[in-house]
């Protein structure tokens, strides 16, 4: 009896080991399946217009035909999309230009990079008070974005229009770098997303095109001055460096620079957004 009992226990042990081994194998397959499934899901952050519109109306259908699931998360500021990308909750984002990304990396000790340049959004000057930039009154209030790269862009437009003169030799400029201000303009620095709502309260308002479009302002038609067409501030697909060679990022980059996207941008935005590929 004792021998039989020992043999029975041994059989149970062998059976248990077999089940554990099978379970481990099954778990490994599940893990592989999950990893494979993740590679067909693209989570991308974007500001509403034109970025999320381009993604939802053109890029997403193109990628779905290739078997990808595309989740577009909309942000209303310029900081959170990069934080989410760096933390890994996004695979990519689409809202910014290279100088802004470089400044974000420098300020936050991050190493985000990009794959392709998609479009340029010419920054414009808007006014409810004057028809020409030169007509702004002495002591007039001028609103500009408060982040370093976009404030630099805005001030350079004001310099191009002859309102101010800026210090030379600096890449990033702010209102303290104005060396000549004949009309004693008051430069008011605001978060970029606040600029459209400030239009009624200032004399001149320098607004990023994406926020202008959200406010139903077309830079090509409604601005009284516009950034030059050779602007270096093309909007990009930003990613983490380690994901640059992943198949889904390659697929995203290809789709967002496709002929379909180019046609959509040209037809929908009438010069307010210009393809850069």
Q: Where are the domains of the chain?
A: 37-121+233-275, 124-226
Helix (H) or strand (E) holding 238: strand 234-239
Are the folds of 37-121+233-275 and 124-226 the same? Answer: yes
Q: Which fold has domain 124-226?
A: D-Maltodextrin-Binding Protein; domain 2 (3.40.190)
Cis amide prior to 50 (ω within 30 degrees): yes
- Residue 234 CA: distances (Å) to CA of 59, 67, 109, 123, 192: 18, 29, 23, 11, 17
Q: How remote is the C-alpha of 252 from its chain's centroid? A: 14
The residues with which 187 forms a beta bridge, in sequence order, are: 142
Given a cut of 50, the residues of the chain with pLDDT beneath it are 1-34
> What is 37-121+233-275's CATH number, 1.10.1370.30, 3.40.50.300, 3.40.50.150, 3.40.190.10?
3.40.190.10
> Phi and psi at residue 196, in whole multiples of 5°?
-60, -40
**Whole-structure pTM value:** 0.75
Instruction: Kindly provide the residue ranges of all beta strands, DSSP E only, lying in 4-109, ordered along the sequence.
Output: 41-46, 69-74, 92-97
pLDDT at site 36: 65
pLDDT at site 26: 39
Per-residue pLDDT reduced to its tens digit, 202-242 = 999 999 999 999 999 999 899 999 987 677 899 999 999 99
Mean pLDDT, all residues of the chain: 88
Distance CA 202, CA 205 (A): 7
Long-range contacts formed by 175-180: CB under 8 A, 24+ apart: 175/144, 175/151
pLDDT at site 18: 40
pLDDT at site 126: 98
The residues with which 186 forms a beta bridge, in sequence order, are: 141
Distance CA 254, CA 277 (A): 11
Give first-to-last CA distance, the chain, whole Å.
83
Residue with tokens 């390659």: 250
């Amino acid at each position: 009896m004792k021998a039989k009992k020992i043999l029975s226990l041994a059989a149970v042990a062998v059976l248990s080991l077999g089940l554990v081994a099978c379970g481990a194998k099954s778990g490994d397959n599940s893990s592989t399946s999950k990893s494979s499934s993740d590679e067909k899901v693209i989570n991308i952050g974007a500001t509403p217009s034109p970025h999320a519109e381009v993604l939802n109306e053109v890029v997403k259908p193109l990628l779905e035909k290739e078997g990808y699931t595309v989740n577009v998360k909309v942000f209303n500021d310029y900081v959170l999309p990069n934080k989410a990308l760096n933390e890994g909750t996004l695979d990519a984002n689409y809202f910014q230009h290279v100088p802004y990304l470089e400044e974000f990396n420098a300020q936050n000790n991050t190493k985000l990079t990009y794959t392709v340049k998609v479009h340029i959004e010419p920054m414009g000057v808007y006014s409810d008070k004057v028809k020409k930039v030169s007509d702004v009154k002495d002591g007039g209030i001028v609103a500009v974005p408060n982040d370093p790269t976009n404030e630099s862009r805005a001030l350079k437009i004001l310099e191009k229009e002859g309102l101010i003169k800026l210090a030379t030799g600096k890449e990033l400029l702010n209102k303290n770098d104005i060396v000549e201000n004949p009309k004693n303009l008051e430069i008011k620095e605001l978060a970029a997303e606040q600029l459209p709502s400030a239009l009624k309260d200032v004399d001149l308002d320098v607004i990023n095109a994406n926020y202008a479009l959200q406010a139903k302002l077309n830079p090509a038609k409604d601005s009284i001055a516009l950034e030059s067409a050779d602007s270096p501030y093309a909007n990009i697909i930003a990613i983490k460096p380690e994901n640059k060679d992943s198949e889904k990022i390659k697929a995203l980059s290809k789709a967002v620079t496709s002929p379909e996207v180019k046609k959509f941008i040209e037809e929908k935005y009438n010069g307010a957004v210009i393809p850069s590929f």
